[in-house]
Structure 1
Amino acid sequence: MMADYLLFASERYALPILQPLADALQVAGHTAHAWLVDGAAGAALPAPVRMVGLHEAVALRPRAVFSAANWVPTFVSGAKVQLFHGFNVEKREDARGHFRVRGLFDLYCTQGPATTAPFRKLAARAGHFAVVETGWPKLDPLFRDDGGESARLRAPAAGREVVLFASTFTERLSAAPLLFDAIAAEIARGDRYWLLTLHPKCAPALVERYRALAGPNAAFVETEQLVAAQRAADVLLADTTSVVSEFAVQRKPVLTFRNRAPKPHMLDFEQAAQLPAMLARAFAPDAARPAELARYADAIHPYRDGRSSERVIAATDALLRGELGALQRKPLAAIFRAWQIRHELGYWRP
């Protein structure tokens, strides 16, 4: 039976999370609509996804709302499904970060065992949401045909090794200001090809400095191209961004600069002057590194079939059919948060 579904995001970086799910909904014969607010406002998902505003979203009465934000408008009908906007990279304490439950969602679609186990414990205690491990829609294109986008990004390398640089916008954790000169020197040398990307929330002046490095030895990659860039690159250079986890799922070497919680699969370093030597190590990993990468990848995202979006849809169907058990009422704190959302969006109808 064909149905309407709503895709919701509050930041531009959520679009690559929602796009594979939109594609899967279309293939299944459903209609996908997208409502983008705040930092995502003005962006769009390509047709046949239909872009809607607040009142259209309410009038749709969608079967489910898929959110790639940490909140969702509760006044829109349908099951509220949390997709997550990144992996848990331990930027914050659990109570404030990845495992914070605000009482807004009916279903959490988790990425892998490392996320599933904590959320199932929370669900058993709270009783007002279900948890299904599905994998993450954003990573579907890593493991299936991406229409040649990754090949196009890699083509200018002309056989050279490819390094992807990505950085968080969190100022105290960002490598982008500290590594700029070292990266610029590597690009000028030209023995490797670089793909450069920064979080959309990074300071515009910093983004422009990195854009200016584009040329025969480097290209700047927009947020919407990030997954293709990860597929195209051989090694990642990053900090405490969740791109580290996304890239590691491919079991490719990860080089991190002052990571907040370095793990055995990472090559972490402290000084910008170490970059050339650390790159050499990343491209010639020791025997233990591949095993550590595989262990970490299986813990956070064991799915390599490119079908996490289909599993999200199936889990949502199971929820709506009552197969995931009866859910308890949302807590009182959720009512206050729902009121805040109405206030922020300016919607006061029943």
Structure 2
Amino acid sequence: MRLHHTELSDRILGGWLGRIAGNMLGKPVERGDHWTRERIDRYLRRTDALPLTDYLPPPPADAQPGEFELRPEWPQCVRGRIRGSCRDDDIDYAVLGLHLLEAHGFGFTTEQVGAMWLRRLPYLQTFTAERVAYRNLVNGLKPPQTAVHENPYQDWIGALIRADIYGWTSPGDPVRAAALARRDAALSHHGTGVHAAMWAAALVAAAFTAQGPRAALDTALAQIPPDGRLARTVRRTAALHEAGAGWSETLTELTESTGDLHWIHAVPNAGVITAGLLHGAGDFTTTIALTVRGGLDTDSNGATAGSVAGVLCGAGAIPPQWTAPLRDQVRSAVIGFDRVRIGELAERTVRLAATV
């Protein structure tokens, strides 16, 4: 199914806006070992922000010292104070991936991904698996050794957050999206970490033509090994939803089954994203609100869920409280892209997608 140019443009802009808005929503509480589901909701009740229908409110004026330890960037990403997007790696990698495809086309190699990082991405703006891979590149290693040498983060969420651009540029083609994401992910991840990127890219690509989030999730699952822990967690989350379990009950079950994994590991975060998409039922605000309230890597999960929800509904259907404060502007550490317009990024993405 080939989308009309107008619809394609609206869906891709929806993906960019959704990713940025979801990231901004989750950024103040990004620390899963501290900001649990319970603590996030306690904060929202304390600030009279439940149900959550806008960006997080600032801390209450009478908060006690240490009561709410938001990330240092919180003054730039809470409601009433947002003046364009904050800089964040969840957005940097989407920007960098766009530049990679413009420079090298869809036949890019993993080595070219690494070279692009070295040219355009500051080392101190990388984290966990990406920082290890960056260091390995500087020390002369080549893929796949860059992903496995002294890298304890191979299964974490880093490659997943880099995958959206491959879905946006493969509308309705999850097989192609997963293959592109796999080539990118191999620079820094192995095994489950790579499969998580393939799943996310396929999920975004499927959202262009799927009849809702469940159909997109089912399509994305077909692109990863069915017996892996990632696929089993996503299937279990979907099964709980189908059986009528509530959102909170589902996440409690996920915590019990994946609680042995780090809060930045790809598997539990994929479960939170899946729950947010299913219980959000295609509504943009509900989807990103539930996903961020689910805890763990809140800004990354909000970004991915926001991207999928934005593609599903299109930019025109995203409520203005999420988009207006962004002022059509991205802050980015990617050299040459700071303060670029969101609309320009979307237009450049559409040009790539239209060649498919």
TM-score by length of 2: 0.24
- Name whichever structure is richer in helix by fraction: 2
- Name whichever structure is richer in strand by fraction: 1
> With CA pairs under 8 Å and 6+ residues apart, which has the higher RCO, 1 or 2?
2
